[in-house]
Chains A and B, each alone.
Chain A
Amino acid sequence: MTVAAPVDIGTGLEAPAAPQRRRAGLLRRSFGHSGLVLGGTMLVAIIAIALAAPLLAPHDPYNQDLAHRLIPPVWQAKGGWDHALGTDKLGRDYLSRLIFGARISLLIGTLTVLISGTIGTVIGVCAGYFGGRVDAVLSYIVTTRLALPVVLVALASAALVGSSLQGVIVVLGLLLWDRFAVVTRSATQQIARTDYVAAARAIGCSTLRILISEILPNILNALIVVATLEMAHAILLEAALSFLGLGVQPPLPSWGLMISEGKQYMFFSPWVIGIPAAALVALVLAINLVGDGLRDVTAPENRG
């Protein structure tokens, strides 16, 4: 963010940076952005944990052991290193479930964003590029989508298609495209007005080619930022759906489901909800920090 716009200090501010310098600058800015570094580190760590889950998890996350139910985590008096984060109501190792749960959240976040990002980008780019009646119709669709209460419609649709991991991904993917459409629409409008798009049109490039080789690369930054923020949104919604019992179904170790299952024990063992909640917060925080950071370092108004 700039402070009050200087009026008349022109010199030296407009000097256009060479492309290489700008790329180097982007890297330098990325490493200089403390939020981005922190979020990126956290996110990479969580992804690594999710990928290496079978190696890292001390126990089978589905293995029930009713003799050792609700063992508290290691920092409490009755805890032990065998179950570092304790066990749940069925005696399953909490740490292992937490580690495998990262896979579910990341999987849902990624696949949802792939679906919703594709839908939203197609709508937004078409609306922004073609304008006129196409824009009016597509914007109308976006407005209508925004009017639908997301949580409620997601719950109802999940119930209709059958609550499952796939069901949640499809439902969220088909619902969460609105921000993609809004952002890519305005970004495309800006690009479509530039000279190089006019030039591409003048030399007879096909519309599809202009969209793919001129528009798409130029809205990519904005798209990546929205994708990260929407990924966090999808993960939070999945947790909420699972918490309400209409998302991912047991025995999958979804963090939202773990919180839901722990709810009845929270008065005496708050850690049963505290641990998965902390994991959820850490993941969403990491993704949001990365998204905000990327927006800061790639936003044109912050270049200079």
Chain B
Amino acid sequence: MLSFTSQRLAVALSVALTVSIVAFLLLHLSGDLATAIAGPEATAAQIAEIRHQFGLDRPMTLQYLDWLWRALHFDFGNSFYYRDTVTSLVASRMPVTMTLGAISLMLALVIAIPLGVLAAVYSGTIVDRLALGFCVLGQAVPAFCLGLGLIIVFAVHLHWLPVSGTASWKNYIMPSVALGWYAVPAVMRLSRNGMLEVLSSDYIRTARAKGLRPTVVILKHALRNAIIPVVALAAVQFGFMLGGSIVIEAVFNMQGLGYLAWEAIARNDFPVVQAVVLILAVIYVALTFLADVANAFLDPRIRLA
């Protein structure tokens, strides 16, 4: 377990490092930073002054290491647009996206796992077909279309829920449904296929031969083993949701990380874009690492190795 964990940790750290290079390049590919910092009215001399002052005339490698060092201390420089540090901007927007992502994931898992289990237990029957049909249809509806549709029905016509914003918990209902929606088919398929595979295994036959009740066979013996890959998928999906929340935040006008990045891209505010890309990527890497560890913990064959 220890060697497994440390090995995975090494991979995670090196992927994070590579991602940081990509994020660093993203900023430098976006145009001349000195010009951007100096502003449109700056003279050539002022730009040269700023270039020197910010160390932009040094070799790229040096600049990267310097940037990485500061990024490790949560210093991502200043926004070009807002007169504020990137760090404080990100910190103020983070809770909205995290809350949205967490609720969406919970919603997706609560719907998808039982549906997948039911589809596997009743495989080949109408239950299975309906669940699979729901999946195929679900995958075809883009999250932002679903979001807009929800707004039209529940906010405009029924007046049950607020259209946009982040004022109360009610504001999170429709965005979470729209964001969680996209993860449901993947999680459902994986739990269904995992359950099907486990249900046909020898130890399930043993469990039935013991005279255990079907609920015990399914919930204790089958689900426990079928759920292991779902844990990893859930972590991956959470990462995707944080990245995909940009569209949902735009639809529902929620001032989260995605909205911040969207605005920043439109305004060429690349220090912000860079920071959000790096943060989301590092969160994703951390999540997959934690999922690997959780997997190992759930599977005694790895845990006790």
Contact = CB atoms under 8 A, between A and B. Distances in A.
The answer to whether A and B interact is yes
Interface residues of A, number: 45
Interface of B is mostly: helix
Interface stretch (A92-100, A184-192, A266-274): A266-274
Contacts of B190: none
Contact of A156 (B149, B258, B277): B277
A156 B247 contact: no
A243 B149 contact: no
A280 B144 CA distance: 12
A164 to B, nearest CB: 15
Interface in A1-27: 1-5
Nearest to B208: A4
Instruction: Please classify how large the interface on chain B is, using the bins under 10, 10 to 19, 20 to 34, 35 or more.
Output: 35 or more
Nearest to A278: B145
A1 to B, nearest CB: 6
B247 A285 contact: no
B46 interface: no
B199 A285 contact: no
Interface stretch (B83-91, B107-115, B278-286): B278-286
B277 A152 contact: yes
A140 B17 CA distance: 12
A245 B266 contact: yes
Contacts of B243: 149-152
A186 B30 CA distance: 37
A159 B29 CA distance: 11
A266 B15 contact: no
Interface stretch (B64-72, B134-142, B166-174, B293-301): B134-142
B229 interface: no
B81 interface: no
A281 B145 contact: yes
Contacts of A274: 149
A170 interface: no
Contacts of A273: 145, 148
17 contacts: A146-B284, A147-B285, A148-B22, A148-B277, A151-B243, A151-B246, A151-B247, A152-B280, A156-B277, A236-B142, A243-B247, A244-B246, A246-B265, A266-B151, A277-B145, A281-B141, A285-B140
Interface of A: 1-5, 35, 140, 143-144, 146-153, 155-156, 159-160, 232, 236, 239-240, 243-246, 259, 263, 266-267, 270, 273-274, 277, 280-282, 284-285, 288-289, 292
